[in-house]
Amino acid sequence: MKADCPLEETSIQGGDILYVNRGLYKHYGVYAGDGMVIHFAPLAGKETSADNAVVHETNLGNFLKGGTLKIDRKSKAKFTRPEIVERARSQIGKKSYSLVFHNCEHFAHWCKTGVYESDQVNSAIDVAVEGAIYAIELIKGERNPERGEKLISKLKDYLD
């Protein structure tokens, strides 16, 4: 669903975890209903720094910024849809953004599951470790095509 498409209430419901692919990363939020999304990001006009990130509510178009809407259905909800929205609303105004420990994906998953988790961070760490091992082996003169293929596969998975 593009930002300029009409919102289809049958396909998206309050409490859904939404994301939009922004190239090197995915941006997450919680759908609050009535075309509104609660997310952890800099306010409009202050996007230049993560220091400006704050949990706030915005409309779906501002959340998507022209990207394609996706619904994250991987994690099992511990809370009802209204509780997920209430948990998100309870965090409005909170700051303390950390790319590794407290980002938009951590926030959205916490609202749904009660656990701070980021598949993107976990995948990025996995790619970095695999890349470091591959580089060390190359420096040592060891050629391991399987390791290179594994690294490429993990990098592709991360970028998908």
Q: Residue-wise pLDDT tens for the chain (160 aa)?
A: 444 444 444 489 999 999 999 888 899 999 999 999 999 998 876 666 777 899 999 999 999 999 999 999 888 999 999 999 999 999 999 998 888 888 999 999 999 999 988 887 777 777 777 788 888 888 888 887 887 787 888 777 766 6
Beta-strand relationship, 26-33 and 53-59: unpaired
pLDDT of residue 59: 95
> Which pLDDT belongs to residue 48?
63
> Could you tell me where the DSSP H helices lie in the chain?
60-64, 81-89, 104-113, 119-139, 145-159
pLDDT of residue 126: 74
Decide yes or no: CATH 3.90.1720.10 for domain 17-117: yes
Q: CB of 50 within 8 A of CB of 42?
A: yes
Contact 1, 9 (CB under 8 A): no
For the chain, the helix, strand and coil percentages under 3-state DSSP, each to the nearest 5: 40, 20, 40
Q: List the domain boundaries for the chain.
A: 17-117, 121-159
pLDDT of residue 158: 67
8 A C-beta contact, residue 13 and residue 28 = no
pLDDT of 47 reads 67
